[in-house]
Amino acid sequence: MPDPRVAVVGATGAVGPEVLAILAERGFPAAEVVPFASARSAGSRVGFAGEQLEVRELTDDSLAGFDLALFSAGAATSRRYAPEAVKRGCMVIDKSSAFRMDPQVPLVVPEVNPEAADSHRGIISNPNCSTIQLVVALKPLHDAATIKRAVVATYQSVSGAGKAAMDELWDQTKEIYVLGPSEPKVLPKQIAFNVIPFIGAFKDDGYTDEEHKMWNETHKMLDPDIKLTVTCVRVPVFVGHSEAVHLEFERPLDEAEAREILREAPGVMVVDKRDPTGYVTPKEIQGEFAVYVSRIRKDPTVKNGLAMWVVGDNLRKGAALNAVQIAELAHERGLLGRKILA
């Protein structure tokens, strides 16, 4: 097929500008790239490959004539407009949670389960940001020794809650130096100089939907037999999610083997020296594509135990990069031109 016409939906949010930047950076072969947003943002301009593009309004019909749309505008927008795009022959790569657990929609991280993309019926979903970086690090270890159980605690940046949450951290922090912080509006409690052990909404079991996503999505992409438990926590970091991960394997896997496997794994960078700066923090990897793994060590409290620290840029690998990688995969595999069944 000729180079596809590409729409970027949610172009003025936290992730959309990253999608545009990464399409340009990686030289995605597009005949045209057009940014879309809600009526409120239509007419504003966003940067792409050195140009300023005018943002168009997203409507039922505005994606007709496009081959591919990358959606990162929230679940409500995806639920409303993605089926309209698909009806008009435009494939959708969706960042939101709207279709992730739909059995007819593949959930894809290209380093983990690229083959799942082949069965798409018009929509391919991206996992949640905190899941993506986790499964990139878990997949090669699972292949080597079979993960039985994972206990995870997250340190998630505010950009995972969107641009308004980033502004809230910035403004709230500044206010502390003057008159004291204003009431939180976006996040449920003060985030400046604080941490919040609650992301999303509570489910009946006392876990949050963010926590449910991490195990549900890991089960769908990697292995339903992995027992995964997690506490998801928001921290006052702008970009970059971190995860403390304690694993239990079926078979022995010592820390040197694990380090070697991770060094060779696609999309992973190992930074793991036992000196006071020999690990990665989120601030240091902002803008990077890889998932970083540090502090790989034996966990002696369980048979075949291993602990590690996993950091990724949630706007890049956790969102925009993964979406663009799916677009590349779909283009290479000829999945864009294929008749859409949905």
Residues in contact with its own copies by the rule CB under 8 A: 149, 151, 153, 155, 169, 173-174, 177, 188-190, 193-198, 201-202, 205-207, 227-229, 231, 233, 235-238, 242, 244, 246, 255, 274-279, 281-284, 294-302, 305, 307, 309
Minimum CB distance to its own copies, residue 79 (Å): 22
- Whole-number Å distance between alpha carbons of 142 and 227: 12
Distance of CA 239 to the CA centre of its chain: 12
- Whole-number Å distance between alpha carbons of 254 and 41: 52
Between 79 and 219, whose beta carbon lies closer to its own copies? 219
Number of H helices, E strands in the chain: 7, 14
User: Which helix (H) or strand (E) segment is 56 a member of?
Assistant: strand 56-57
Spot the catalytic one: 120, 129, 142, 232. 129
Between 38 and 173, whose beta carbon lies closer to its own copies? 173
Cβ count within 10 A of residue 274:
8
Q: Which two tokens stand for residue 158?
A: 């505010």
DSSP string, 234-284: B-S-SS-EEEEEEEEESS---HHHHHHHHHHSTTEEE---SSTT-S--GGG
- Whole-number Å distance between alpha carbons of 192 and 325: 34
Between 113 and 281, whose beta carbon lies closer to its own copies? 281
DSSP string, 104-151: TS-B--TTT-GGGGGG-SSEEEPPPHHHHHHHHHHHHHHHHH-EEEEE
Between 24 and 233, whose beta carbon lies closer to its own copies? 233
- Whole-number Å distance between alpha carbons of 325 and 238: 24
Do residues 262 and 108 touch, judged by C-beta distance below 8 A? no
Spot the catalytic one: 120, 142, 212, 241. 241
Minimum CB distance to its own copies, residue 276 (Å): 4
Q: Is 129 a catalytic residue?
A: yes
Minimum CB distance to its own copies, residue 93 (Å): 30
Residues in CB range of 76: below 8 A, 6 or more apart: none
Q: Is 120 a catalytic residue?
A: no
Between 245 and 330, whose beta carbon lies closer to its own copies? 245
User: Which helix (H) or strand (E) segment is 321 a member of?
Assistant: helix 321-332
Between 261 and 342, whose beta carbon lies closer to its own copies? 261
Minimum CB distance to its own copies, residue 177 (Å): 6
Report, as residue numbers or ranges, the catalytic residues.
Answer: 129, 241
